Amino acid sequence: MSENLHDNCACNEYNELATRREFLQKSGGAVGAVAFAAAFPEWLPQVSVSDFYIANRDVVVSIFLRGGADGLSLCVPFGDPEYYTGRPTLAIPRPDSSDPNKAIALDNMFGLPPNLGGLYPAYQAGNLAVVHGSGLTFNTRSHFDAQRFMEVGKSNDPTVQTGWLGRHLATSTPARADASLRAIGFSDGLVDTLKGGPKTLPIPNPASYGLLGSTTTRTARMNWLQTDYSATIEPAKTAALDAIATINLLATLNLNAYVPANGAVYPNTGLGRGLRNTAGLIKADIGIEAAHLDVGGWDTHTQQAGGMATRMNELGPALAAFWQDCVASGLQQNITVVVISEFGRNVRENGGAGTDHGRGTAIFALGRGIAGGRVITHNWTSLARENLQDQQDLKVSIDYRDILAEIVQNRLGNGNLAAIFPGFVPTFRGITKDAVSGRIAAK
Amino acid sequence: MSNLKVDGESESTNPVEPDSVESSTSRRRFFAASASVAAATLVGSREAKAQGSGATETRRDMVRSILRKTTRPETGPAKSAQVSAAAYDSALSKLVRRITNGVTADEMTLARKLGFNGYLEYQLNASKIDDTAVQSYVATTYPYALMDSAQLYALDLGQVASQFQQATLYRAAFSKRQLYERMAEFFSDHFNIEYATVEYMKVPDERDVARKFALGKFPDMVRASAHSPAMLEYLDNTRNSRNNINENYARELMELHTVGVDGGYTQTDVRELSRCLTGWTIASRGVAFTFVPNSHDWNQKVVMGQVIPAQPTTSGQLGMRDGDMMIDYLVAHPNTARFISKKMIKWLLRYDPTDEQLSAVASVYSSSQGDIPSMIRAILTPANLLAAPAKYRRPYTFVLACLRATNPQMLRLQNVTGTQLRTLGQSLFAWGPPDGYPDTADYWSGGALPRWNFASYLSTNTADVPVDINRFLAVNTPNGCVDAINAAMFGGEMPDTLRSQLVTYAQGGTFNATRAREVLALAMSSSTFQWM
């Protein structure tokens, strides 16, 4: 298990190995990097021993389901008849049903919908946990407020402008001192979650991150910019030089040629491509510590069955492929994936075969360091009207920060929780398997 | 510093014309300050010359004739550089960079003609600047941007948003009222409302709040905002009633709009102010502000020590008085003076205002009842400008500066307000929280590559906003091209290092229009161009 890995942290080895990054630097900037890529057209991590595995903290992959994902579909409370009362057309049938669309039982109460069935092996292997009745304790049903509050890690406080993951990066030393890119957001602009993170860039597609224009003159123009920005003032200087380093670095990776391990096949969807590139970046040994991906389209006010199926067909197979490629494959580097959404949806479906904005939903956490194979709840009650918030919604009985904070402290080795989740004292819910913070501190 | 050589010509001359409007007080301040500013000796002497004696009548005539000019920036060949790079750090040039969305050859020529104070006064008196060309273009091209909620709600909301964004960007780029546009952007952020939350209601809000009072009185703007349907909806005052208090708007009215987070109020004050504002809501579809007496809390309130007396529940529209009284109190509060002064200094001058600057501007706020032009005069003194470090352009300002310098055809501006600004991270009216897009270098400096790629896009696109590269090739040599870029982007004051780097690149391959486009893109991508 992962603790052995950490115990074996051989920091001398870490320093002595000629890493890919160092090789690139020694080979002389942009021009050398291009030559290097030409000389090694194969996917490099398959032919070289990487040293990044020695880093004793998990890489974190944060996935946000935008629009308010229906937790009662993501993790079906089939053991509660009230669920079937509230969802006459939308409910996913019990596992013992003969309906082909039936749920897959996780325990006596909860099950996965068939669209997420690809995750069942991860659950069986103890790598997947679901935290039900979780979310934002601040009572808002506004997408915009709820997303922002969750991402910045504090509700209704305009003075908090950076994201929880950005602040984690800002309050921890880089896993690799020479990393030019510590975190990547798969989007055009930087999402709130990552704001404030050093060496953190929005990169919609790392396989094509680079300077537009003629390929013939690209190197000359890059060199021109490098010279020009070397003489400007901070913070523009460092930011631009990091961007140039990242462009040069990504240009050498040939991510499009990345071959997933363990027979994993990523679906050709936004999330599938993003997670495939995430896997490539992690294995490429460049010091990536965090990745953030969004999946939109969860705001299922009408005709939810089709919309949810489409969205879950994007989520399930992509996550399953990532698990197969990066977790079940025995990859030494530990990875923790956490999937959240701004809120859940009403227990009772509406007249349009959809559901309106609700409160509690389900968080998914995946990784070898996750105490998985369980659905974690707190004071779970039946979905009878009198138990619901405002008589309509699954209550938020577990603050999403309880889960994130435990992951930050125990899996990312960062104890600065007061800075990362200001004004909040988390209750750890046992989502993680073991702590690594002590070893980080000893390093 | 040596002056620029223009294509083998003799040393360029200084075309800065005399200016007589400069008051003796501010001139004294200027001289006093320029002596103490390191590296400002040359600049100071140039400025002193620029602000010497001159014929008042002549200049007034000239201002009048300039005010009557209505065209967009010139579209002919960019004029070649006639001035020194040394002027780049002068108070006048810094002024132009701070109060416009980007230098153009015409704008610099105008500023030099009018002199420091003449140019500042010209821009401060925005309503006297004839801007009919831009206004009629906007009215014709983006009619939705001029409509009211009662008309807009029934229209295609995607189109409303798109026209609204394009109209806003077009005016910011090409209006001759550049300082006005800068302040409208500032106050749009100050009273930020995310379009997606209130949709079409944002259109009249922008017009009736930030744009109406951008160069007026700040207290009037706060009052207008408090009556804006979009604001009341965005900050939930539409859900604030005596039986169900919603504190959101009341809190932000104090924290973000007036006295500031350290403005001396407590959570109890937030609650009490919320009670004052119960009943302030919107008519159906947000077409108008309305006060609903039945929702109002008529009991006594105490906000920041101010006693708002109880009223009979039959007082009808008089219930609005509670909120009006508190807004009057808040806008006159010394903490509001300091809060808005500090933010304005940061916007116009520097990220780190000195205590002296802050006190000076705050006292102008108090003595002028929040008169924004008076505050701007106190902020933008030559001495303050000479001492001010550069500010980092936000992505939107960068885009505007690029458009102003290159003056492209407007074929599909929606690709700029859409994909391009989104990629750059500053789509118009898309900032979610009520505090507006940040105005810090730290926040924005991570987006270097998208800027470089925007520069590349702008200089090579053919279907959206194509640039006529021939404007920069009147003298079809590397030096001639860089000089034309210098004139268009820097008013002829491009720093020497940048100039020689660009010439070197231009000479690094076969020089043709393709190479020239790359040189133009590099000039826009350059670190120098990101600062103002």
Whether the upstream peptide bond of residue A93 has omega within 30° of 0, thus cis, is no
The nearest alpha carbon in chain B to A162 belongs to: B443
Which positions of chain B have pLDDT values less than 50? 1-57, 70-71, 80-81
Q: Which residues 128-187 of A are in CB contact (within 8 Å) with B? A: 142, 144-145, 147-148, 158-159, 161
Partners of residue B528 in chain A, C-beta under 8 Å: 228, 232
What would the DSSP string read from start to end of A252-305? HH-GGG---STT----SSHHHHHHHHHHHHHHTTS---EEEEEE-----SSSHH
Domain boundaries, chain B: 1-194+371-532, 231-331
C-beta atoms of B433 and A148 within 8 A: yes
Residue to mutate among A148, A150, A232, A234, with most B CBs inside 10 A, is A232
Min Cα–Cα distance to chain A from B139, Å: 31
C-beta atoms of A243 and B446 within 8 A: yes
The nearest alpha carbon in chain A to B393 belongs to: A236
Partners of residue A220 in chain B, C-beta under 8 Å: 505, 508-509
Residue B446: its pLDDT value, please? Answer: 81
C-beta atoms of A237 and B514 within 8 A: no
Residue B61: its pLDDT value, please? Answer: 59
Residue to mutate among B426, B494, B527, B529, with most A CBs inside 10 A, is B527
Q: What is the three-class DSSP state of A65?
A: strand
Neighbours of A353 (CB within 10 A): 17
* Sequence-distant contacts of B215-218: CB under 8 A, at least 24 apart: B215/B124, B215/B126, B215/B127, B215/B179, B215/B180, B215/B183, B215/B372, B215/B373, B216/B371, B216/B372, B217/B369, B217/B370, B217/B371, B217/B372, B218/B331, B218/B340, B218/B365, B218/B370, B218/B371, B218/B372
C-beta atoms of A211 and B453 within 8 A: yes
Residue B5: its pLDDT value, please? Answer: 33
Cβ atoms of A295 and A311 closer than 8 Å: yes
Residue closest to B107 by CA, chosen among B65, B130, B74: B74
d(CA B261, CA A64): 31
Cβ atoms of B121 and B59 closer than 8 Å: no
C-beta atoms of A225 and B438 within 8 A: no
- The strand pair at B280-282 and B289-291 is best described as antiparallel
Q: Tell me the one-letter amino acid at A357.
A: H
Per-run averaged pLDDT (10 residues), chain A, 443 residues: 32 30 36 34 34 65 96 98 97 97 97 98 97 95 86 90 94 90 88 91 90 95 97 90 92 92 96 97 94 93 92 98 96 95 95 90 97 96 95 96 96 94 96 56 23
The pair phi, psi for residue B291, each rounded to 5°, is: -110, 125
Q: Which of B426, B433, B446 sits opposite A239 (nearest CB)?
A: B446
Partners of residue A219 in chain B, C-beta under 8 Å: none
Cβ atoms of A215 and A175 closer than 8 Å: no
C-beta atoms of B422 and A189 within 8 A: yes
Q: Which of B194, B453, B530 sits opposite A236 (nearest CB)?
A: B530
